[in-house]
Amino acid sequence: MADTKNEASNKKGNWKKELGIVLLVTGVLGAIGWYFFPPIMPHVQLAAEPVSHTIFASKWFGEEGFTITNTLTAMFLVDLVVLALVFAVQKAVKSGDLVPRGISGAFEALIEAIYNLSESTAGKWTADIFPYFATFFIIVLIANYMELLPGVDSIGWLAKVAPNAHGYAARGALLVKEPGHYTVVPWVRVLSTDLNFTLALALVSVTMTQVIGVKALGLPYFGKFFNIKALFTVKPFWMGLIDFFVSLLEIISELAKIISFSFRLFGNLFAGSVMLFVIGFLVPIWFQSAVLLLEAFVGVIQALVFGLLTLMFMSLATHPHGGEHEEAHA
Amino acid sequence: MEQTILHAARFIGAGLAMIGALGGGIGIGLSAQGAVQGIARNPDAAGTVQTNMILGIAFSEAVAIYCLVIALLILFV
């Protein structure tokens, strides 16, 4: 008994020692890197940067053509990851093995958890609503977690920027032909830091909420937006008029959902990226890893919130707009 | 000179825009307070309370995030 205890404490001591060694080595390496290549305040740009030459410049696509932006490459990567997951799970399901292992096991646990969640909220409309919830959750989660990969946001072309902007001053080591200020245009940038992506997801979410509402309630669903019934049934006429105008406000709240969906995801992830850059500039050793841990948390919470809000709005849309006024969502 | 004033005004504007984050902070604190009290009284309902709390937090956080987006737009666009 005493022996095992001693061994355990020994092991624990070893573990602490190893952590200390790792911290020391990374600290020394970071300090060396910091000395030879001092960190610079990076150039922050809101819009996605183009990383390719102009393609498809022609009569049909316009003289300017298109450029591939670095968030578009991230989109392709996310698609590849999702497809790889799909094929891995499909292979596991087709093999007839009743006990899921590895990736398919993890996926079964995930799907079971979020299916139970959506069943408790959506009730009998689960079969209609769950696919949107799961799709949003998985694609946003993978898009957000791309931030944790090394090389994303940091490897790319050098582009010349205005002299007063932040960026590297040209040096021999940077292998540039002409002097001036340069900045790195990464090949891959986190997908959710592009407003186009989040806006597209928000549009899909809000549009399909209307579709599911019509599917559940039929045309009376639009009574939520144009409450003509209240004009005739509510007794003092002006009270009915007020009800009618309140129902018109629902249209605005529906449009505000698009903005809130897209800005929430975009703002969280873009602010996280900027914070990572700035922390890397201020405290080059160790601290960025702690911020990365926070980003991992934010990534999964935002993915869950996006999916969960879609689920909530969709299941709200399936409920008839009855006498009690209980919805108070912005 | 003009550039410098513009630069300074940008920073001031971004700082002022972030005042709105105050409301989001208060809202998140209040919803967490309510959820913790609810869980303390009825620990069995912890799961549902937590889910709803996260939803409420996301709503009030969105307001702060709008301020952040405005501040970032002022700074970097």
Residue B62 with chain A: CB contacts under 8 Å: 260, 263-264
Rounded percentage of chain A residues whose pLDDT exceeds 70: 85
Give the residue from A77, A41, A262, A66 showing the smallest Cα distance to A152: A77
Q: Is the pLDDT reported for residue A324 higher than 50?
A: no
Domain positions in chain B? 2-76
CB nearest to A267's CB, from B3, B55, B68: B68
Average pLDDT over residues A80-102: 85
Q: Which helix (H) or strand (E) holds B53?
A: helix B46-76
| B27 to chain A, closest Cα gap in Å | 14
Q: What is the pLDDT of residue A48?
A: 80
Residues A301, B57 contacting (CB under 8 angstroms) = no
* CATH entry 1.10.760.10 includes domain B2-76: no
Task: For residue range B2-18, list pLDDT tens digits in order.
Answer: 888 988 999 999 999 99
Residue whose entry in the numeric block shows the structure tokens 């582009």? A159
Q: What percent of chain B has pLDDT over 90?
A: 47
Residue A183 has pLDDT above 80, yes or no: no
Residues sharing a CB contact under 8 Å with residue A278, sequence separation 6 or more, in sequence order: A41
pLDDT confidence of A149, banded at 50, 70, 90? confident
Per-residue pLDDT of A153-171, as tens digits, reads 878 777 777 666 666 655 5
Q: State mean pLDDT over A59-76.
A: 80
Residue range A286-298: average pLDDT? 87
Provide the pLDDT confidence category of residue A136 given band limits of 50, 70 and 90. very high
This complex has an ipTM of 0.75
How large is the average pLDDT for residues A245-264? 89
**Mean pLDDT along residues A1-30:** 72
Nearest CB neighbour to B58, from listed A44, A46, A264? A264
Whether the predicted pLDDT of A328 surpasses 50: no
Task: Decide if B45 touches A, using CB distance below 8 A.
Answer: no
Q: How far apart are the C-alpha atoms of B62 and B75, rounded to whole Å? A: 20
Pairing mode of beta strands A156-161, A181-186: antiparallel
Chain B residue nearest residue A264, CA to CA: B62
In this prediction, residue A204 has a pLDDT band, given cuts at 50, 70 and 90, of: very high
Q: How many beta-carbon pairs below 8 A join chains A and B?
A: 47
B43 CA: distance to closest CA in chain A (Å): 19
Q: How confident is the model at residue A219 (pLDDT cuts 50, 70, 90)?
A: confident
Q: Does A309 touch chain B (CB under 8 A)?
A: yes
pLDDT score for A330: 41
Put the strands of the sheet holding A168-169 in their side by side order. Answer: A156-161, A181-186, A168-169
Per-residue pLDDT tens over the stretch B6-57: 889 999 999 999 998 999 999 999 999 999 999 999 999 888 888 788 878 8
Burial A208-223 (b: 16+ CB within 10 A, else e): bbbebbeebbeeebbe
Highest mean pLDDT among A35-49, A230-244, A251-265: A251-265
Q: What is the pTM of this model?
A: 0.82
